[in-house]
Amino acid sequence: MAAVAAFWFGAGIAALIDPKRQKQNAMIVALSIVVCLSAYLGMVASRPAPPGTSHGGPNVYPPQSQSTAP
């Protein structure tokens, strides 16, 4: 939702500044938003997991805590 709002805001400002190239400016704004979102998602995906969680697939469970171990 924020990306859509940012696109319309950026495209509107660009259209006010240079009304002859509205389509080109809108494409530049859209491309910059896609690049920013891709960078953000790449950084979020590469962050380490919080303590006590696992990055394993199915059937890989987090380690049991000391209080529930037999």
Residues 52-62 have pLDDT tens digits of 665 555 666 66
How many angstroms separate the Cα of 13 from the Cα of each of 7, 18, 19, 41, 52?
A: 10, 9, 10, 26, 46
Residue 48 pLDDT level (bands cut at 50, 70, 90): confident
**Is the per-residue pLDDT at 41 higher than 80?**
yes
Instruction: Give pLDDT tens digits for 1-32.
Output: 788 888 888 888 888 888 888 888 888 888 88
Query: Over 80: is that where the pLDDT of 67 sits?
Result: no
Model confidence, pTM: 0.59
| Largest distance between two CA atoms of the chain | 74
Instruction: State how far the Cα of 5 lies from the Cα of 30, in Å rounded to an integer.
Output: 11
**Which backbone phi and psi does 16 adopt, to 5 degrees?**
-70, -35
